[in-house]
Amino acid sequence: MAILRIIIIFFLFQVKSYSLIEVDITRGNLNPLPIAVSPLATDKDSKQKFKNEVKVDDLGAEISKVVENNLITSGLFNPLPKDSFLQEPDIAHFKPRFEDWKLIKAQALITGKVEYIDEKLRVEFRMWDVLAAKEIMALAFTTVPSNWRRVGHIITDKVYERLTGEKGYFDTRIIYVAEEGPKTQRIKKLAIMDQDGFNTKYLTLGNELVLTPRFNPTNQMVTYLSYFRNLPRVYLLDIETGIQEVVGDFPGMTFAPRFSPDGKKIIMSFATGGNSDIYTMDLENRVVERITNHPSIDTSPSYSPDGKYICFNSDRSGYQQIYIMNSDGSNVRRISFGRGLYGTPVWSPRGDLIAFTKLHSGKFYIGVMRTDGEGERLLTENFYQEAPSWSPNGRVLVFYRETKTDDKGEGFSAKLWSIDLTGYNERQVPTKTDASDPSWSSLLSN
């Protein structure tokens, strides 16, 4: 036993001391790491079988494109053009000629192969430290061929984790509201897609207004607001089965729902007689608890990841500001004191920050502050944008932004955008239609 332990420690030590590449994600990354993503090698026979089954000509190459696109959007990596690669994919995967990859200035190299075995897709991939001329990661897994895009996302997560030291966020989905039609009669549907914009599915038909879908952080349940039968109420939806139900039995509008971090409660606002307060409902025993009791508007509640605190939005000072309280509603204190109005506070999954929407002098900002309200940083400014949602690793925010599309400032389009916590790397997230109210899922696999 003692000998084994020593060997393990030695091995870990060695990997750490010889690994030259690492990516710092705590600052805006202006020099993305040059990385070569070799197409995953596929033998002739497998290629044909994949082509028949999932209608993709070269599945190995397509999976590597998924990885490449993820690496680009992360802003931390610079995937090198494939036409500069000198080595064939299958040989590179077996044994890279490091001097060839050094020549094109790659610091890391990803190689792999896909095979069709027993109607399954078997993937093997390796990551190589080009400068140190050594393998730094190897992994293999098997799945159904139709899952091939997820294979690309899982590979990216492993690469990201190995090089940044933090969990990735690529094998995830985003639920959002798909929008169409004129602003005065907007049609809204619940939609879900992979975080890179593929595999869009619509979950409602657009017959009733739907707003603010949010993922359960522990499974694939969703809570959202629906105007079904003109009764705006919070609903719970199982996106695998499509089964949904109203949350609680409230004699008025319930809205602004979110799950507790353990996924067992829904926290939301209930409005009656001109006053909105915050309530929770336990999903197991259906017990409803009133958390705030104040004549002002209390809404947009969000739990801290340990479940001990709740941040929320209240106008008890006269205008919208951000407050924090204990999860039983005690010890309420205001934390936003900057100029302007503050809304939609969302607690980071890392626990240290609260993201928010700020309105000031006719502009909307997405920002973050520490949980004591100090250290406010505004990440992005625009005419209309709101509703930040954290990536599961707490490094990226997705939100929605409306832009005017004609000279009169009348036509408009709503799109999803993402931005790093650093304020760098702002990107539009591709959606098939106009989109709003994004919510990022937790990692699907681990």
Partner 1 sequence: MTLNKIFKNTLILISACLLLSACATQKTVTTDGSQMQGDVYTGTDTVKELAPGVPDRVFFATNESILTTASRETLRKQAEYLRKNSSMNIVLEGHADERGTREYNLALGERRANAAKDYLMTYGISASRISVISYGKERPVDSGSNTLAWSKNRRSVTVKAN
User: Which residues lie near partner 1 (CB under 8 A)?
Assistant: 182-186, 209, 211-212, 225, 230, 232, 252-253, 255-256, 269, 271, 273-276, 297, 299-300, 313, 315, 319-320, 341, 343-344, 357, 359, 362, 381, 383-384, 386-387, 404, 407-410, 412, 437
Q: Name which of 65 and 186 has its Cβ closer to partner 1.
A: 186
Comparing CA positions, the residue from 231, 239, 168, 171 lying closest to residue 202 is 239
Cα dihedral sign for 331, 337, 343, 346?
negative
Q: Name which of 136 and 256 has its Cβ closer to partner 1.
A: 256
DSSP-assigned letter for residue 27: S
Smallest separation (angstroms) from partner 1 to the CB of 187: 11
Residue pair 439/389 in contact (Cβ under 8 Å)? The answer is yes
DSSP-assigned letter for residue 21: -
Q: Which residue has the tokens 């993201």?
A: 355
| Pairwise CA distance, residues 241 & 66, whole Å | 28
| Pairwise CA distance, residues 66 & 72, whole Å | 10
Question: 54: which 2 tokens?
Answer: 């999932």
Smallest separation (angstroms) from partner 1 to the CB of 406: 9
Smallest separation (angstroms) from partner 1 to the CB of 304: 19
Residue pair 298/314 in contact (Cβ under 8 Å)? The answer is yes
Smallest separation (angstroms) from partner 1 to the CB of 136: 42
Q: Name which of 262 and 410 has its Cβ closer to partner 1.
A: 410
What is the three-class DSSP state of 2? helix
Q: Name which of 170 and 365 has its Cβ closer to partner 1.
A: 365
Q: What is the CA radius of gyration of the chain?
A: 24
Smallest separation (angstroms) from partner 1 to the CB of 382: 9
Cα dihedral sign for 225, 228, 231, 234?
negative
Q: Name which of 218 and 272 has its Cβ closer to partner 1.
A: 272
415 alpha-carbon distance from chain centroid: 15
Smallest separation (angstroms) from partner 1 to the CB of 248: 17
Smallest separation (angstroms) from partner 1 to the CB of 358: 10
Residue pair 408/386 in contact (Cβ under 8 Å)? The answer is no
Q: Which amino acid is at 266?
A: I
Q: Name which of 240 and 406 has its Cβ closer to partner 1.
A: 406
Q: Name which of 72 and 359 has its Cβ closer to partner 1.
A: 359
Q: Name which of 19 and 382 has its Cβ closer to partner 1.
A: 382
Smallest separation (angstroms) from partner 1 to the CB of 29: 22
Strand partners, 311: 302, 324
Question: 157: which 2 tokens?
Answer: 């997560």
